[in-house]
Amino acid sequence: MKKSSFDRCLRAVPTITSAQRHDLKVAIERRDKKDLFDEVASLVGTPTACPHCHHAKIRPWGQAAGLPRFPYRGCHRTFNALTNTPLSGLHHKDRWLFFLEKFREGESVRKAGWRCGINTKAAFLWRHRFLALPACLKARQESGIVEADETWFLRSYKGQRGGLPRRARKRGGRAQKRGLSREQVPVLVIRDRSGATADAILPKNDHREIEAVLKPLLARDAVLCSDGGGKGPIALAAREMGVAHRAVNLSKGIRVLAGVYHIQNANAYHSRLKEWMRRFHGVATKYLDHSLGWRRMIETFGERLNSTLWLTLSFGRHGLQHELGT
């Protein structure tokens, strides 16, 4: 529309009736909704193969839920670009990007739902749908000097209504026993000097569980650094694997060996992770992997982590494996 025509429309606004104002508002909202829907559809793109049988010979066949639908006669099933992804079947696509706008800031479920016009239960579902794939995106190999250290989170049954193995308590509480116990969940964080990061929730903090995490992750030339002065499960796992190992001993004030071997990067990551997690007043243990993945994405992409990037990460077409060290 030309500026002169738009100015005439603006001048006519005071003269329109309440019914006409309502119709105008509906028309604008409908146009905005379509634009947002089209933007999501363009980001989702077109599948390259059938997600059921992985055959590449596909062709478009109408639309469903606003996205192009594709059939494949070989398996007699139809699909779209979100089939077999965590976002499959999720409604209100026009609100997805709006919902993700504050995602990097760790906005609460209640606030996100209120801002997007969805209820709290739906906002909670959306959050964990959008976090399902990013939780799996972590470094697959680390090389050079690699730091490994455990951190601990209080075991949480947040949101569980019954069947608790203990008495209910205020969310984000404290362990009843001092030191390490079954009340806490061990998380192993592994970082190399390039910033490639991986983490793992350990069923228990022993060398077998740690070895299962480190063995496929460490490059042959990697030098593993840990705390404990050469004792503890990480040191034992390194010996079992035959990996070069350097151990500092923070409890005795030995923080750096030969000027280069330390675990300060891993400890700094622990500190940032714990500080960021405090806003949630405790995270349910069953969703802890989602929160760990959320923080990894923030660390990896920083200020570039906008709603568009979050959406593409959430349905798997990220194309950013090199930034994650994968």
Domain locations along the chain? 139-161+179-303
What is the rounded distance in angstroms from the CA atom of residue 131 to the CA atom of residue 107?
14
Mean pLDDT calculated for residue range 58-72: 67
pLDDT in tens, 187-228: 999 999 999 999 999 998 889 999 999 999 999 889 999 998
DSSP 228: S
**Amino acid type, 281:** H
| Other residues' Cβ atoms within 10 Å of the Cβ of residue 11 | 9
Place of tokens 């609100």: 95
What band does 66 get if pLDDT is binned at 50, 70 and 90?
low
**Amino acid type, 271:** S
pLDDT in tens, 134-176: 888 888 999 999 999 999 998 888 877 777 777 766 666 666 6
What band does 230 get if pLDDT is binned at 50, 70 and 90?
confident
Residues in the chain: 326
| CATH number of this structure's domain 139-161+179-303, picked from the four choices 1.10.10.10, 3.30.420.10, 1.10.3210.10, 3.40.50.1370 | 3.30.420.10
pLDDT at 309: 85
pLDDT in tens, 67-105: 777 766 666 677 767 777 788 778 888 888 888 888 888
pLDDT in tens, 244-301: 999 999 888 889 999 999 999 999 999 999 999 988 888 889 999 999 999 999 998 8
pLDDT in tens, 234-253: 999 999 999 999 999 988 88
pLDDT at 143: 92
Are 292 and 135 within 8 A, CB to CB? yes
Please give the distance of CA 131 from its chain centroid, rounded to a whole number.
Answer: 4
pLDDT at 276: 92
Q: Convert 192-223 into a string of H (helix), E (strand) and C (coil).
A: ECCCCEEEEECCCCCHHHHHHHHCCCECCCCE
What is the rounded distance in angstroms from the CA atom of residue 267 to the CA atom of residue 38?
43
Helix segments in 133-256, DSSP class H = 207-214, 233-241
Are 71 and 105 within 8 A, CB to CB? no
What is the rounded distance in angstroms from the CA atom of residue 60 to the CA atom of residue 40?
18
For the chain, the average pLDDT equals: 81
DSSP 302: G
More confident residue, 202 or 318: 202
pLDDT at 72: 61
Nearest CA among 288, 293, 287 for reference residue 310: 293
Pairing of strands 145-154, 223-226: parallel
pLDDT at 325: 54
Are 150 and 187 within 8 A, CB to CB? yes
Nearest CA among 97, 132, 89 for reference residue 116: 97
Beta carbons within 8 Å of 83's beta carbon, 6+ residues apart: 47, 51, 52
What band does 40 get if pLDDT is binned at 50, 70 and 90?
low
Q: Which pTM does this prediction carry?
A: 0.79
Mean pLDDT calculated for residue range 48-62: 67
Backbone angles phi, psi at 223, to 5 degrees: -115, 115
The first and second tokens of residue 166, run together, are 């203990």
pLDDT at 322: 46
Backbone angles phi, psi at 237, to 5 degrees: -65, -40
